[in-house]
């Protein structure tokens, strides 16, 4: 079973405390929605909504910041003048 990044729970909780709307976006098929929600909840990761698709950039119009491990998504965020941060994969 995969585990979340070490500080993911604290990071998301901090965003929530500051009033951010948290959208978890993942390159998964829509049929994985329930499994994704269960995994997030089992790992105590707070969120407001889940977006599953192969194009996360559709969320950029209503987005202030992006944290992602995809250089492509971060490149697109930078081009759209969105604050972005690379999240490294765990080993």
Write the DSSP string, the chain: -----TTHHHHHHHHHHTTPPPEEEESS-GGGHHHHHHHHHHTT---SEEEESS-GGGGGGG-SEEEES-HHHHHHHHHTT-EEEE-PPP-
- pLDDT band per the 50, 70, 90 thresholds, residue 9: very high
User: What residues does each domain of the chain span?
Assistant: 8-83
Residue-wise pLDDT for 61-76, tens only, equals 988 899 988 888 989 9
- pLDDT band per the 50, 70, 90 thresholds, residue 56: very high
pTM (two decimals): 0.85
Phi, psi for 20 (deg, rounded to 5): -75, 145
Q: What percent of the chain has pLDDT over 70?
A: 91
């Amino acid at each position: 079973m995969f585990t979340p990044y070490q500080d993911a729970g604290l990071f998301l909780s901090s965003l929530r405390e500051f009033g951010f709307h948290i959208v978890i976006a993942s390159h998964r098929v829509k049929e994985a929605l329930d499994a994704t929600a269960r995994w997030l909840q089992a790992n105590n990761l707070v969120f407001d909504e889940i977006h599953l698709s192969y194009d996360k950039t559709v969320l950029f119009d209503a987005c202030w910041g992006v944290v992602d491990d995809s250089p492509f998504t971060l490149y697109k965020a930078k081009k759209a003048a969105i604050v972005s941060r690379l999240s490294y994969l765990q080993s």
